[in-house]
Amino acid sequence: MKTLIFLLQKEFKQIFRNKILLALIFIIPVVQLLIFPLAADYEMKNISIVVVDHDHSPYSRKLISKIVASGYFNLYASAGSFEEAFRFIENDKADLVLEIPKNFERELVVEKSQQLFIAANAINGIKAGLGGAYINRIIVDFNTDVRLEWIQPERFNAVPVIQVTSSNRFNPGMNYRFFMVPGILVFLVTLVASYMCALNTVREKEIGTIEQINVTPIKKYQFILGKLIPFWVIGVFVFTVGLFIVARLVYGIIPLGSITLLFAYLAVYLVAMLGLGLLVSTYCQTQQQVMFVMFFFMMIFVLMSGLFTPIESMPAWAYVIARCNPVTYFMEVIRMVVLKGSRLADIRLHFIVMFGFALLFNLWAVIHYKKTT
């Protein structure tokens, strides 16, 4: 026990003497948590649109005003022809072109039908799809307003009407930051736990201090625990700051579920990810190698964890990889506990899987660590 205490004292002194490492651990995650959720938003706004109005009637002007007033579109320019408007798309100055045909108002009122033409810049498929959906919804609402304006009340027949009432559970305000902030917090804790732990361990190889440890009677498990516990404490601290200070005070996110349950899962998760960091450090000899190897894993962890896109929409082979990703399970747990108020029975399987990851990574690290005497 005394040996482990001495190792922990050495590790904490070594961490706090490294000013750059302290900034990476404590300052950068907080700054990233403040900035990332502001940019990671799938709701499209400020979509540039160019209008080609061949009619110049009150109805066409009313439709254009309705589109601009929606808050999703900015009227970039008005063009005299579609060819002129299309050049704005070619020059990346516009995202959509709306062409209103001649006699738009007359045919809409007299002939009861009319057609509009929409061209979308599909280089960014998500923006084109959402922009097209937004403007189609606006046009449908405009068409309904016109019908109600021209159809006389006595001509309405009593027909069955289905009314749909929707309720947005767990996030009534549809605030996308409530979904993104917990996920980004998981990623930052993962980065601090595994990445920094691996870098710190390999740094000792480069400066030669680990060779001094190798010729001592220190056991393998004591060395592993001495490397794991300090960054476990730091990971808990970073998560606490992110959840109770940044998430609560800046974004107004208050967990609905048990905080104790969330921190219990965090404790197991940190053991697993620290084990991965230590495992990588046993294979690498330089910090440069660690950076490349951990960058490879971090890219997979982020893109295949459900942080940005649901894993259910991935191909079958990618879904299998996502289910072998430990970050996926904590990403689900934190959103379930924080937003839904899930209990232990709901995340029991996640606990079992994470215990498996922790056992696998740490046993592998202990077995592969070569200690010379």
Spatial separation of the C-alpha atoms in residues 130 and 70, rounded to whole Å: 14
Contact 193, 270 (CB under 8 A): yes
Spatial separation of the C-alpha atoms in residues 326 and 317, rounded to whole Å: 17
Radius of gyration of the chain (CA): 29
pLDDT score, position 275: 93
Q: What is the largest CA-CA distance in the chain?
A: 98
> Side chain identity at 345, as an amino acid letter?
A
Give the domain ranges of the chain: 7-40+173-368, 47-155
Q: What is the DSSP string of 272-307?
A: HHHHHHHHHHHH-SSHHHHHHHHHHHHHHHHHTTTS
Contact 290, 281 (CB under 8 A): yes
In Å, how far are 23, 83, 189, 234, 367 from 19, measured between CA atoms? 6, 59, 19, 15, 32
- Residue 58: count other Cβ atoms within 10 Å of its Cβ: 9
Contact 283, 297 (CB under 8 A): no
pLDDT score, position 116: 92
Output DSSP code: residue 116.
-
Q: Which burial class, exposed, middle or buried, applies to 306 when counting CB atoms under 10 A from its CB (0-12, 13-18, 19+)?
A: buried
Spatial separation of the C-alpha atoms in residues 132 and 162, rounded to whole Å: 26
Q: 3-class SS at 338?
A: helix
pLDDT score, position 373: 39
Query: At CB < 8 A and 24+ separation, what contacts does 340-343 make?
Result: 340/170, 340/256, 340/257, 341/255, 341/256, 341/257, 342/257, 343/257, 343/258, 343/261
CATH number for the region 47-155 comes to: 3.40.1710.10
- How are beta strands 96-100 and 47-53 bridged, if at all? parallel
Contact 54, 102 (CB under 8 A): yes
Strand pairing partners for 47? 73
Contact 64, 53 (CB under 8 A): yes
pLDDT truncated to tens, each residue of the chain (373 aa)? 788 888 888 888 877 887 777 777 778 888 889 888 887 766 778 899 999 999 999 999 999 999 999 889 999 999 999 999 999 998 888 999 999 999 888 888 777 778 899 999 888 777 888 888 999 999 988 988 887 777 655 555 555 667 777 788 888 888 888 989 999 999 999 988 888 888 888 888 887 777 777 677 777 778 788 888 999 999 999 999 999 999 999 999 999 999 999 999 999 999 999 999 999 988 998 989 999 999 999 999 989 998 888 898 889 999 999 999 999 999 999 999 999 999 999 999 999 999 999 999 999 988 887 654 3
